[in-house]
Amino acid sequence: MLCLKSATEAAWLERAIADTPALLIDHAHCERKAATQALTLLAEYPEHLELVAPVVAIAHEELEHFETVCGLLAARGLTPEPQAPTGYQSGLFKKVRKAEPDRLIDRLLVAALIEARSCERFKILSERHPDPELRAVFRDLLVSEARHHADFVRLAESQADRVTVHERLRHLAEVEVRAIERAKPLPRIHS
């Protein structure tokens, strides 16, 4: 079960369908960034060996997703140009606490929330996007993103007692709602 505190509005799907090329380009960037974030976590916490196997598995899958989406872009003659940030990720990351182990817990919970929002939106796209090829791709990907969400929550739970971690998750889920509401309304996965 996802821990999101809001459901995506219909206007988001309209934007996504109206400019599907922009959505797919953003999606490629999201998958690459997810892989990079996973590796950054391992680089910042080399002493946390419990992170290695699950986070390496996530990084692998995100790179596979990146390759899949880049394949879609290539087949459609699209180029993944750089994009200006929407403010969504920075809105979340600025709430990460500074002292350990709070910082690691928050990093893992923020990653879980980003996965949850991707998963929620991939589900909408898998059911309601008019392009059947894209519906199938999003259906495949949402299964992985749901698993990544659960993996990050589980890793956070391994860093402190469960009640404290879930209290923090509920707080960060409220922050996530504000971040997604404040993000620029663009045809992006997280805006």
CA contacts within 13 A on the Cβ side of 36: 7
The three-class DSSP label of residue 163 is helix
For Fe ion, the binding residue among 27, 29, 32, 65 (CB under 5 A) is 65
- Helix pair angle (132-157, 20-44), 10° resolution: 20
- Report the distance separating Cα 70 and Cα 28, nearest Å: 6
- Helix pair angle (49-75, 132-157), 10° resolution: 170
Determine the interface stretch with Fe ion among 33-41, 45-53, 84-92, 125-133 (rule: CB under 5 A): 33-41
Taking the least distance from each CB to Fe ion, the nearer of 26 and 115 is: 115
Within 125-164, the residues that bind Fe ion by CB under 5 A are 145, 148
> Minimal distance in Å, beta carbon 152 to Fe ion?
9
Beta strands in the chain, from DSSP E residues, in sequence order: none
For Fe ion, the binding residue among 24, 37, 62, 169 (CB under 5 A) is 62
Is residue 26 near Fe ion by the rule CB under 5 A? no
> Minimal distance in Å, beta carbon 161 to Fe ion?
26
Which residues of the chain form contacts with Fe ion (CB under 5 A)?
31, 34, 62, 65, 115, 145, 148
